[in-house]
Amino acid sequence: MRMRKRRNLAPRMERCAELLISEPEQMKGKWKDLLPGCGVLWLELGCGKGRFTAELAETEPQVLLVALERVPDAMIIAMERAKNRGLPNVRFIDGNASLLDTFFGAGEVDRIFINFCDPWPKSRDAKLRLTSPAFLRQYCDVLPVGGQICFKTDNTPLFDWSVSVFKDEKWQLSELTHDLHADGPLGIMTDYEAKFYAEGMKINRLVATKTAATLGTAAGPVARLKDASLTDARGYAESRAAFENRKEQE
């Protein structure tokens, strides 16, 4: 996500300090203590400006929702949304999803949301996609058997590529659709999703469930990704760039 530098980032972060977990490594294995009585922890990767984060936390008050984002200029908007709604059950990590296993213990996370992650269309960048094999193995480690990943994207080449990675890594797939909102808006939309939906773009979604056969990091190194470019990368990159430009002017 290309972002304008937010003015007053530091004081705005300070005002939302109670929502930020500044040393997430210290919380490993203890996250659920943050919300007494809560038995469930959900994790959103790349929350961006947090429309989905705030609405999900409000809809599911018994769930502790942790939102992780590596761009603080986007995350501050998500944090302010959560603070303005007075949500007691959401926390934020300013960090990279590649460090997930340092933040969460084995089986500690019950569900992971990956919404409109960056597609990284070039083959040489495929390992950075949040649905690449190395990421899926980390997710496997922090989820229990039966734990789920909910994945949404407008990018069909990324979605189709991800489906094959999930299958190779032995996740059980369900609720797979290439047009989530075919019969009208369904579920909580993210910031990106609301824009794409308004523009008439189709949204892909699937749920991947961990089984006893799903591969984790103990299964060893992942094979080198071959021929992993996304086929319509050029056209997609241009439309995403146009979208970002429009957003910057808003």
Ligand X SMILES: C[S@@+](CC[C@H](N)C(=O)[O-])C[C@H]1O[C@@H](n2cnc3c(N)ncnc32)[C@H](O)[C@@H]1O
Active-site residue set: 118
Instruction: List CB contacts of 107: < 8 A, sequence separation 6 or more.
Output: 142, 143, 144, 147
For ligand X, the binding residues in 45-64 under the rule CB under 6 A are 45-48
Piece of 30-38, 43-51, 54-62, 214-222 that binds ligand X (CB under 6 A): 43-51
Using CB under 6 A as the binding rule, whether residue 118 contacts ligand X is answered as: yes
Rounded to 10 degrees, the C-alpha dihedral 199/114/130/19 comes to: 110
**The binder of ligand X chosen from 116, 161, 166, 196 (CB under 6 A):** 116
Closest distance to ligand X from the beta carbon of 44 (Å): 7
Using CB under 6 A as the binding rule, whether residue 68 contacts ligand X is answered as: yes
Using CB under 6 A as the binding rule, whether residue 141 contacts ligand X is answered as: no
Shortest-Cβ-distance residue relative to ligand X: 46
Which residue's CB is nearer to ligand X, number 34 or number 71? 71
- Asked if 178 contacts 202 with a C-beta cutoff of 8 angstroms, the reply is yes
Token digits for 190? 């993210």
- Asked if 216 contacts 100 with a C-beta cutoff of 8 angstroms, the reply is no
**The binder of ligand X chosen from 89, 115, 131, 148 (CB under 6 A):** 115
Using CB under 6 A as the binding rule, whether residue 24 contacts ligand X is answered as: no
For ligand X, the binding residues in 151-190 under the rule CB under 6 A are 190
Closest distance to ligand X from the beta carbon of 240 (Å): 8
